[in-house]
């Protein structure tokens, strides 16, 4: 089981999302993502190769880094994924 930490921008991201979706996102993080962060998420590539993306609620994505030595998931951003 992993611990969860957040970067400063995450609270700003959450303030832009409706309360019911925030509850669902947080529930998914603590019930699914912390159990197996490598399997739950998709490894990103290129300049973001150390990050993962987890599709948690419809179009919403959690971008995070795994800090293996500390058994910690560092949440970088929580955003709505836009398709163009």
Number of compact structural domains in the chain:
1
pLDDT class for 84, splitting at 50, 70, 90?
Answer: low
| CATH number of the domain that residue 33 is part of | 3.30.2310.20
Confidence of residue 58 (pLDDT cuts 50, 70, 90): confident
| pTM of the model as a whole | 0.89
Share above pLDDT 70 across residues of the chain, in percent, rounded to a whole number: 96
User: What is the C-alpha separation between 79 and 35, in angstroms, rounded?
Assistant: 21
pLDDT at 60 over 70: yes
Tell me the pLDDT tens digit for each residue of 22-45.
999 999 999 999 999 999 999 999
The residue count for the chain: 84
Look up the domain containing 69 and give its range.
3-80
Give Cα 45 distance to the centre of its chain: 16
Gap between the Cα atoms of 82 and 21, Å rounded: 16
């Amino acid at each position: 089981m992993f611990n969860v930490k957040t970067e400063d921008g995450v609270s700003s991201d959450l303030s832009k999302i409706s309360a019911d979706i925030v509850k669902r996102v947080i529930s998914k993080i603590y019930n699914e993502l912390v159990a197996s962060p490598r399997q739950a998420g998709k490894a990103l590539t290129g300049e973001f190769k150390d990050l993962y993306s987890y599709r948690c609620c419809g179009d919403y994505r959690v971008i995070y880094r795994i800090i293996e030595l500390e058994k910690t998931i560092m949440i970088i951003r929580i955003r709505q994924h836009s398709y163009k």
